[in-house]
Chain A
Amino acid sequence: MKHIFYYNSGLFPYACFASAVHLGILPIEPFIETEHIQNLIPEDTGRSVQFYYMGTDGYQNNIYALWNAGPPEIVKKIICSFLEICGVETGEIYFLDTGLKGDLHSGLSVLLYNWSPARTAGIKMICRRLSRDYEKLTGFIIKSAPERLTKNAPYQIMLP
């Protein structure tokens, strides 16, 4: 069993979407519906470090999403060395930094999402932003984990 951590350093939850694509919750092909996205994003995204266990894929690998936690190289070392000193086998840990950077637009979309009166506007902005970066995101997942994204994998069920 592998532990796969998707990571990005900004406020925008790229890691959350990347893990959702990996798990088959979101499709590989760009097809984004507001409600799917809304269900995925945690309520308090962008307020502090975000770290979630997202699920187990068809190969029994555990998938995690982690974002807004600072420099990826430090985060990776903290995860690996902490688990190591606590006696958890770290040989099977994969830390995948999406490398996608946020900007004013993506930051604003998350801030609006967190503010109840502007949530609808926030979710629309998040969807627009995600549509723009979706190809890069799925490209990254396919490149970094191709063997886990074969069509025969039981989790690879595309949304309608």
Chain B
Amino acid sequence: MNIIYHCYGGTHSSVMAAAVHLGWLAGDKTPSREEILGVSYFDTRDNGTRGEITYMGDDARGHRVYIVGRGNSARPMLHITHRLSKIFGIEEEKYRFVDMSGHVNLCMRVGGVLSRKFKLVKMGRPLVLTGTRKAYLAIAEHVEEVKNSI
């Protein structure tokens, strides 16, 4: 199965979710700032990559894990992919979209805009890291639910 974690920019909450899912980060304790920054794609992707479903890795059970940033187009994205699966005969069991944007807090939002949109990385990244660490356990719990349900 293809597990696709999605959020607004595809570079913070969805990346964290994929990292937890793949076991790169432990799900029961909040990682350090350095550990978070060590995760591929964290706070590095910009608007130009929106819509690109990016492969992150295979989990222990062979499920393929992806991330995608979809801007404000969550509903259109789900509708389009649902229609595509009908048209092209793709079984719905072959993929699952998981929305991680519900875990994005104010710190992540403000920091993300500063870092990614305005390229003020020095100002935005510390905020994003603080916000991500705050949201981390909830993200990890969500990922655990997803893993248990597939």
Q: 1/0 contact trace for B48-77 toward A, CB 8 Å?
A: 001111010000000010101011110111
Contact of A75 among B68, B72, B76 (CB under 8 A): B76
A70 pairs with B84, CB closer than 8 A:
no
B79 pairs with A49, CB closer than 8 A:
yes
> Does B122 have its Cβ within 8 Å of any Cβ on chain A?
no
Give chain B residues whose Cβ lies under 8 Å from the Cβ of A75.
51, 73, 76, 80
Give chain A residues whose Cβ lies under 8 Å from the Cβ of B76.
49, 69-70, 75
Cross-chain pair count, CB within 8 angstroms: 76
Residue among A70, A74, A75 facing the most chain B CB atoms (10 A cut-off): A74
What is the number of residues of chain B that contact chain A, defined by CB distance less than 8 Å?
28
B48 to chain A, nearest CB (A): 9
A76 pairs with B51, CB closer than 8 A:
yes
Give chain A residues whose Cβ lies under 8 Å from the Cβ of B73.
69-71, 74-75, 78
B80 pairs with A85, CB closer than 8 A:
no
B150 to chain A, nearest CB (A): 16
A78 pairs with B83, CB closer than 8 A:
no
> Does B85 have its Cβ within 8 Å of any Cβ on chain A?
yes
Point out residues on A near B: beta carbons under 8 Å.
Answer: 48-49, 51, 53, 64, 66, 69-71, 73-79, 81-86, 88
Point out residues on B near A: beta carbons under 8 Å.
Answer: 2, 4, 50-53, 55, 64, 66, 68, 70-73, 75-77, 79-81, 83-85, 87-88, 90, 94-95
